[in-house]
Amino acid sequence: MQSQTKSIRVFAPATVANLSCGFDVLGCCLDTVGDEMVISITSEPGVRITKIEGADLPLETRKNVAGVAVEALLEAYESEVGIEIEIYKNIKAGSGIGSSAASSAGAVWAVNHLLDNPFSPQKLVEFAMEGEKLASGNAHADNVAPALLGGFTLVRSYAPLDVIKLHTPEDLVMTVIHPQIEVKTSDARSVIKQKVTLQQAIHQWGNVGGLISGLFTENYDLIGRSLEDVIIEPMRSILIPEFKNVKKAAMDKGALGCGISGSGPSIFALSKGMETAKLVATAIREVYSKTGLDFDIHISKINSKGIKIIE
């Protein structure tokens, strides 16, 4: 008996969460960095991770972010299905560009596709958040939402979940530097103080509104002015070598804004146009070359579609 009936290979993109002012609520999807996954429907009920390449991650379903996310989906599907998952990781764990989110979002998106799309993108975000909960102890949606919906997304509310896709201005390009040190999201969350002052809150929600308005009106200056974080960045940036110098180098070369990508250690700089993004890459490479640390640099346009099927 042939056990595999249907199978697809998907590209599961990296994402940049928070975007400075929007801790846990804003994120965007990258185009040139991501994992690949092969998802198959089989005749044997249950979820099995059959292969992982490129990372040392657990094959056990309950311990794997893709596994728990798909289990959440199948529980809601209420009919017996067998799923096999192969994961080909390119995004390093603990890099701050949504490694766990790519796996959980990619898996639920592909399973939904193979089942003829019974669930809305919003429901898929909910299932994928189970993977984030396993990875970091917190079911944040600001990486899985842009991976699933593409472009820029806002989590307007967590209870009930309300995820909104924002507009993506065509000319925005991300430059991301990933220093090869691991910062676990759970550790980076533990350094954050749980209280903010009213002054900080006023500052921050002005910027969130400004950034969203800037995206919709394609006002690049406004986008740049709004990429500011007075709450999280001061606490977390101390975990990232050369953060201040990288930011200065990026801004000096004309980046619209620069901040910590997700929980770090990656740093993102958003620019208008590929030319500026490349200049920014050269400048931050220079800063990091002096540290003796290994690092990767990615340049990517914003991926407005999110996860996609590949051959």
- Residues with a catalytic annotation lie at 132, 185
| Minimum CB distance to ligand HSE, residue 153 (Å) | 12
Nearer to ligand HSE, 18 or 207 (CB): 18
Choice from 13, 106, 262, 306 touching ligand HSE (CB under 6 A)? 262
Choose, by CB under 6 A, the member of 40, 207, 237, 263 that binds ligand HSE.
263
Which one of residues 36, 142, 229, 242 is an interface residue with ligand HSE (CB under 6 A)?
142
Question: According to the binding rule CB under 6 A, does residue 140 interact with ligand HSE?
Answer: yes
Beta carbon of residue 204, minimum distance to ligand HSE (angstroms, whole number): 14
Q: Residue 22 or 253: which CB sits closer to ligand HSE?
A: 22
Give least dist CB 165 to ligand HSE, A.
Answer: 18
Per CB under 6 A, contacts with ligand HSE among 51-110 are 96
The residue number whose beta carbon is nearest to ligand HSE equals: 262
Task: Indicate which single residue of 12, 18, 72, 223 sits in contact with ligand HSE (rule: CB under 6 A).
Answer: 18
Q: Which residues 162-201 are close enough to bind ligand HSE by CB under 6 A?
A: 185, 188-189
Do residues 140 and 17 make contact, with C-beta atoms less than 8 angstroms apart? Answer: yes
Binders of ligand HSE in range 228-257 (CB under 6 A): none
Beta carbon nearer to ligand HSE, 15 or 64: 15
# residues near ligand HSE by CB under 6 A: 13
The binding site for ligand HSE (CB under 6 A) comprises 17-18, 23-24, 96, 140, 142-143, 185, 188-189, 262-263
